Structure 1
Amino acid sequence: MAKQSQSEIDQMIQRSQCIHRDLVRRDIIQAIQSYQCNLVLKLNRYNLNEGYSKEYLCLSGTVLCEYKENRYNIPIEIILNENHPYKSPIAQVKPTSNMFISPTNQDVQSDGTITINYLKTWRHPSSDLSNLIKAMSQSFSLSPPVYSISNANYSTAPYPTNSPSMGMPMPMGRSSLYSYSNIHQGIERENQGEISQDIYHESLKTAVLERIRNRFNELNNIEKAEIESLKKTEQYLNEGEKKLELLINQIQQKQIQTKNYITNLQNKINQISEKPLLKKDNLIEDNPIIFPAPIYKQLFQAFAEEHAIQDLLYYLADGLRKRSISLENYLKHVRELSRKQFILRATMIKCRQVAGLPTK
Structure 2
Amino acid sequence: MSLESVFSKAVTKYRYPDIMKSEVRSVVQHYPGLKPTFTEYVFNDGKTMELICLKGVIPVTYKENQYNIPVEIYVQDAHPYATPIAYVKPTQDMCIKPSRNVNENGLVFLPYLHEWKPNQSDLLGLVQVMCVVFGDCSPVYTRRRPQANTPVNNTRPAYPPPAGYYGGAPQPPYPVYTGTSNPSPGYPAAPAGGYYPTGATSSPSAMPPYPPISQIPSYPSQHPPVNRTGTISEEHIRASLISGVEDKVRRRYEEKMMQYKAEIEVLQRTETDLQKGKRQLEEMCTRLRNEQNELDRTKVLLQEKKTELNTAVAKLAAQGEMDIEEAVTPTAPLYNQIFNLYAEENAIQDAIYYLGEALRCDAIDLEVFLKQIRELSRKQFFLSALLHKCRRTAGLAA
Q: TM-score range by the shorter chain?
A: 0.3 to 0.5
- Normalising by structure 1, we get a TM-score of 0.46
Give the number of the structure with larger relative contact order, counting CA–CA contacts within 8 Å between residues 6 or more apart. Answer: 2
TM-score, normalised relative to structure 2: 0.42
Q: Could you say which structure has the higher helix fraction? A: 1
